[in-house]
Structure 1
Amino acid sequence: LRVDRHGARLGRGGGWYDRALAWRRAGVPLVAVCWPWEFADEPVPELAHDVPVSAVLTPERLEVL
């Protein structure tokens, strides 16, 4: 639903996606794919188990965080 400039994500998965990300290979970048209006300047809420993304990809650009 939303990604902020610090890599925090806000969605509807209840933490399931974060648990799956724990199995990724170390050093693999995480890229959120979203619409431009979902990439926010204001921070989104974070929980202790949240895994931040390292980049955001929209149809217009790729921004490395």
Structure 2
Amino acid sequence: MLACILTIEKAHSDVSQIRLDFFTFELLGPTNGTCVDDQFIVTGQNTNSIAPIICGINTGQHSKFTN
């Protein structure tokens, strides 16, 4: 298993949302609707705003995460 971990810290305490734009982002697709082999997982976000696990082709997409 390979993992790439990135920590993003807020520049100011009043920042409450981060947007990630995926210019080129392709992982293995889901198996029976579930991301099994390749996964993009976000942790540490607000418990009321859980980000889904992402897999497959996401080029040109974006995700917003609230903390």
- Place the TM-score, normalised by the shorter chain, in its bin: under 0.3
TM-score (norm 1): 0.24
Structure 1 or 2, whichever has the larger Rg, is: 2
TM-score (norm 2): 0.24
More helix per residue: 1
More strand per residue: 1
